[in-house]
Homo-oligomer: A and B are copies of this chain.
């Protein structure tokens, strides 16, 4: 279960990574139903990435797969399922940098609940 407290820990870890690589990001966390639990737009992150981050989180949960592994969206890294004991309980979506940067930040967030 991704409650708000968990979503905040996921976002905090993702933000820390984004700051490390100096790339402001939009970060979204959805629960097991694919519904938004929390979103933040870091200062200086693109407004065009707001919806993209939310959509990546949704898509990642919707197919229980990292968006970088979706064949026809291979350029759309940044969405990663959140798993507890091997079970998908939600997802994180990140948008704001290159595909690699988005994925690295999403991974940092996802690592909190894995």
A interface residues with partner B (beta carbon < 8 Å): 3-5, 7, 31-43, 46-50, 59, 61-64, 71-72, 75
Contacts and interface: CB of A to CB of B under 8 A. Distances in A.
Given A47-B62, A48-B63, A63-B48, A33 B36 contact: no
Interface of A is mostly: mixed
A62 B46 contact: yes
A41 B43 contact: no
A11 B48 CA distance: 22
Contact of A4 (B35, B43, B46, B75): B43
Contact of A34 (B33, B37, B38): B33
B63 A59 contact: no
A3 B41 CA distance: 9
A38 B35 contact: no
Contacts of A75: 71-72
A58 to B, nearest CB: 8
